[in-house]
Amino acid sequence: MAKKKLKELVINRDWCKGCGICVAFCPKKVLELDKEDKSVAVRPQDCICCKLCEIRCPDLAIEVVIEPDKEK
């Protein structure tokens, strides 16, 4: 199985309340809270697309968009 590649980390800034759950549980420390206490992807190149942020986000504000597999 080929490694999943991140296309985009979509974060809905209107819905994010800055609880920091995504930041705390990201295994690769991709996310951080900015000055406005909203989640931002500061190191998207490190993302392994585990979707832990997406499934735990209480505000349903994060979506991990994965690059479609080209080999198929």
Partner 1 sequence: MAIKDYLRQRFFPHMWCPGCGHGTVLNSLLRAVEELGIEKNDIVMTSGIGCSARISGYVDFHSLHSLHGRALAFATGVKLSQPKLKLLVPMGDGDALAIGGNHFIHAARRNIDITAIVMNNKIYGMTGGQYSPLSGVGKKATTAPYLTIDNDFDVVELAKAAGATFVARTTTFHATEATDFLKKAIMHKGFSVVEILSQCPTHYGRKNKEGDAPQMVANYDKITARLGSKKLEENPALIGRGIFVDRQAPEYCEEYDKIIEYAMKGRK
Question: Which positions lie near partner 1, rule CB under 8 A?
Answer: 14-21, 23-25, 55-61
Residue 41 or residue 57: which is nearer to partner 1 going by CB? Answer: 57
Q: Is there a contact between 61 and 39 (Cβ–Cβ < 8 Å)?
A: yes
Shortest distance in whole angstroms from residue 24 CB to partner 1:
3
Residue 27 or residue 58: which is nearer to partner 1 going by CB? Answer: 58
Burial 46-55 (b: 16+ CB within 10 A, else e): ebebeebbbe
Residue 13 or residue 43: which is nearer to partner 1 going by CB? Answer: 13
Shortest distance in whole angstroms from residue 14 CB to partner 1:
6
What distance in Å separates the CA atoms of residue 67 and residue 38, rounded to the nearest whole number? 25
